[in-house]
Chains A and B, each alone.
Chain A
């Protein structure tokens, strides 16, 4: 099992830790990732608001690079917005020969051409479907049973393409989180929208959505995410939300592979945990407790031998 890897712009900047943790977890599980050569931006949520043709051509450039590199491997994408853009272009080109011809006319400017033969896969899909909870459990070295985790899926890895999970009541993260020993925070907010780029253009609207999510997460030790935009919206505006609404406690927000990596015993540096904007003392003390009890348990087992 191996994948071509499209990190996307966020994972080279504001979501560096998502890139670090994804690579580290895949490496620990023995899954090689090959980064696409000279990949470019997928168009994010901007292209679709400006031009239909660029909204297809920008992701298509990267799919064409993938086809050129290796048609037998799927392209693994950790960012939900990149994932949807790449997937949408792939589907559009597969279904409609006219669209394919049009997009390929644009791609010819970069001496590229696309047939639509490679698969586009979200990181969560690969973790849940290809690898699975048992393979994760086999790597667990640190018991995280002190933690209660709220799984947050967001929108674009689930909708409009229901590929690996229920698009309205997703559950695919639960077995993966349970495999680390952690408990699942019961809530209905996992597939709700965080407001996405409204945080930049219509902040009051996005704050309202994020407030509802943070409020529903009360009682959990952390929320885990699988998208840089969701992560940023949930972690970066907590002070503003606390001032505005006065009823939200600070909440730790991690990427799913960071949580898995912690359970694998990978270091904070390897997982980029110092880069998160909202990993608080409560969460750290819970993790230290987990490590502490783990050590005691190992000592007890060893003394019995």
Chain B
């Protein structure tokens, strides 16, 4: 997944118009707070989900994209299930994650790098190669979090010992299940939309 270079360099927040599609999805929000009360990760969020949706409706891109709230959505779908207005809130969280990914916003790097490397690995091999994906993720994170791999070393060894993870060359050539053409097609269609 290669976001466009012009946006990669930009540190600015997206224009409020960029939120239009998300606004349309959640415009019936009545600010009841059922989403906040249903969210398992709300305790760790700077903006509660209810406040986040208000910010979206008001076009407050700066408040949204300085907050970590949408990256803390673990897609449990409790809010979507319970929303009395029947709004697709988890989907709207995904939309915000995609905006952060496309804009390569620095403060979301742990999440965007993780998902980006995952996607690139399946683009090359069709299926996930755990060691390749995780090594590349750690490499990207190394400048800001050089000790990150240590949190997972013990687990890595246990998985290797049990034969549940293989030692892989992180730069292997694409395999026969490569999804390169699928990715290229999807990217060109989304760019021209």
Contacts and interface: CB of A to CB of B under 8 A. Distances in A.
B43 A109 contact: no
B65 interface: no
A208 interface: yes
Q: Lowest 8 CB-CB distances: which A-B pairs, in order?
A: A159-B77, A193-B76, A46-B118, A49-B97, A155-B76, A109-B181, A46-B115, A40-B126
B15 interface: no
B135 interface: no
Interface stretch (A10-18, A126-134, A142-150): A10-18
B29 interface: no
Interface of B: 1, 40-41, 43-44, 71-72, 74-78, 80-81, 90, 94-95, 97-98, 101, 110-112, 114-116, 118-119, 122, 126-128, 130, 137, 151, 154-155, 158-159, 162-166, 177, 179, 181-187, 189-190
Contacts of A48: 75, 94, 97-98
Contact of B127 (A12, A203, A239, A274): A12
Interface in A163-210: 167-168, 192-193, 195-198, 200-206, 208-209
Nearest to A204: B44
A106 interface: yes
Interface residues of A, number: 60
A53 B186 contact: yes
B115 A105 contact: no
B12 to A, nearest CB: 21
Contacts, number: 164
9 contacts: A13-B166, A45-B75, A58-B179, A105-B185, A160-B77, A167-B81, A200-B114, A236-B158, A275-B162
A155 B181 contact: no
Task: Please classify the interface of chain B as helix (H, G, I), strand (E, B), loop, or mixed, using the class held by over half of its residues.
Answer: helix
Contacts of A109: 181-182, 184-185
Contact of B182 (A46, A110, A193): A110
Given A49-B97, A193-B78, A239-B154, 20 more contacts: A12-B127, A13-B166, A14-B130, A16-B163, A40-B122, A41-B128, A46-B122, A48-B94, A49-B112, A52-B98, A106-B185, A159-B76, A159-B77, A159-B80, A159-B81, A197-B114, A201-B111, A201-B114, A203-B151, A274-B162
Given A14-B130, A49-B101, A275-B162, A57 B186 contact: yes
Contacts of B190: 51-53
Contact of A14 (B72, B119, B159): B159
A38 interface: yes
Nearest to A159: B77
B115 to A, nearest CB: 4
A53 B159 CA distance: 33
A48, A107, A167: residue with the most chain B Cβ atoms closer than 10 Å: A48
B160 to A, nearest CB: 11
Interface in A9-56: 9, 12-16, 38, 40-41, 43-55
Given A49-B115, A110-B181, A203-B151, A14 B165 contact: yes
B61 to A, nearest CB: 18
Interface in A186-243: 192-193, 195-198, 200-206, 208-209, 236-237, 239
A61 interface: yes
A191 to B, nearest CB: 9
Contacts of A192: 40
Given A46-B115, A106-B182, A51 B1 contact: yes
Contact of A9 (B127, B137, B151, B189): B127
B81 A168 contact: yes
B158 A277 contact: yes
B137 to A, nearest CB: 8
A22 B56 CA distance: 44
